[in-house]
Amino acid sequence: MPEDLALLPADQGQVPTRTWDRGGARPLLALHCSLAHSGAWSALAEKLTGLTVVGFDQPGHGKAADWDGKADLHGLSTRIATGLAERLGNGAPIDLIGHSFGGTLAMRIALERPDLVRSLTLVEPVIFAAARAAEHPAYAPFRAQHLDFARVLLEGRREEAAAMFHADWGTGESLADLPERQRSYIIDRIHLIVAQNPVLLDDAAGLLAYLRIESVGVPVLLVEGADSPPIIDAVQTELHRRFAQSTRLVVPGAGHMVPITHAGVVARSVQMHLEAC
């Protein structure tokens, strides 16, 4: 699993990347979830064949530079991912897979640069505003809970906020039960979650504009855990309705971290999805 620094345009600097050579030159760009890093794809990537899987550390994560607290975090992360997609495919379309926040980045690239995308795999993309657009009853209580988490964080109670967030979006154990290094990593970066709210809660990037999702002309695999928070089912139902070519996979016994906890199940479906494209 070699690590490298991708040289991108000057405004993006050096981007830490990881590459998994899985026996083929076809590139798959993997976009990780928040509070993780590119290594989160290791278990899934190692179960794929005939591909070269490339992940990168998003701003504020892994070995990447810290977020400056001012830039539009979603826009910045999208620009970096787009630059990597251009580099990996030499301008030709490539496959994208994204989990959670990373799924919303992959979706945005498909909307803004369709020339770069051959297929999409979206694992629980947290574009919560899709549930609002569908007037789903899960949206209002979720928004209230999520803004309560943000309030706790803004009051300076970082560890409490991190515990609230991890209870819904982690792998099942409490924050207190995690190894110290992992717990500190999450607490140190928990502010990045609130920085995503303009796009994820309110669609500041216009991803859900009229007929925009319907314009995506590539096959889309939507993956989720059956035990994930109800807002995920609401989002996936709306995306499945709007994407012209989408397949939905619900993994029994899995939660939000399904590509890590159930890497084998997800990898088999991803492999079939890519081979059909």
pLDDT digits (tens, 9 = 90+) for 79-133: 999 999 999 999 999 999 999 999 999 999 999 999 999 999 999 999 999 999 9
Q: How many angstroms separate the CA atoms of 50 and 48, rounded?
A: 7
Residue 171 domain flag: no
Per-residue pLDDT of 123-178, as tens digits, reads: 999 999 999 999 999 999 999 999 999 999 999 999 999 999 999 999 999 999 99
Question: Tell me, what's the pLDDT at 253?
Answer: 97
Q: Which domain holds residue 24?
A: 3-128+205-275
Question: Tell me, what's the pLDDT at 59?
Answer: 97
Q: Could you count the other beta carbons within 10 Å of the beta carbon of residue 60?
A: 21
Residue 17 domain flag: yes
Residue 187 domain flag: no
Structural domain total, the chain: 1
Q: Which of 213, 192, 228 is nearest to 129 (CA)?
A: 213
CATH of residue 88's domain is 3.40.50.1820
As given in the structure block, the two tokens for residue 239 are: 């995306």
Q: How confident is the model at residue 212 (pLDDT cuts 50, 70, 90)?
A: very high
Q: Which of 169, 184, 178 is nearest to 231 (CA)?
A: 169
Q: How many angstroms separate the CA atoms of 34 and 44, rounded?
A: 17
Per-residue pLDDT of 21-76, as tens digits, reads: 999 999 999 999 999 999 999 999 999 999 999 999 999 999 999 999 999 999 99
Q: How confident is the model at residue 275 (pLDDT cuts 50, 70, 90)?
A: very high
Question: pTM for the whole thing?
Answer: 0.96
Question: Tell me, what's the pLDDT at 5?
Answer: 52
Residue 207 has pLDDT above 60, yes or no: yes
Residue 235 domain flag: yes
Q: How confident is the model at residue 10 (pLDDT cuts 50, 70, 90)?
A: very low
Q: How many angstroms separate the CA atoms of 35 and 49, rounded?
A: 27
Residue 144 domain flag: no
Question: Tell me, what's the pLDDT at 7?
Answer: 47
The more confidently predicted of residues 7 and 245 is: 245
Question: Tell me, what's the pLDDT at 57?
Answer: 97
As given in the structure block, the two tokens for residue 13 are: 């600097």
Residue 10 domain flag: yes
Residue 52 vs residues 29, 48, 71, 91, 104: alpha-carbon distances, Å: 9, 9, 31, 16, 22
Residue 251 has pLDDT above 90, yes or no: yes
SS (H, E, C) the chain: CCEEEEECCCCCCEEEEEEEEEEEEEEEEEECCCCCCHHHHHHHHCCCCCEEEEEECCCCCCCCCCCCCCCCHHHHHHHHHHHHHHHHHCCCCEEEEEECHHHHHHHHHHHHCHHHEEEEEEECCCCCHHHHHCCCCCHHHHHHHHHHHHHHHHCCCHHHHHHHHHHHHCCCCCHHHCCHHHHHHHHHHCHHHHHCHHHHCCCCCCCCCCCCHHHCCCCEEEEEECCCCHHHHHHHHHHHHHCCCEEEEEECCCCCCHHHHCHHHHHHHHHHHHHCC
Residue 251 domain flag: yes
Per-residue pLDDT of 175-198, as tens digits, reads: 999 999 999 999 999 999 999 999
Residue 175 domain flag: no
As given in the structure block, the two tokens for residue 23 are: 């026996």
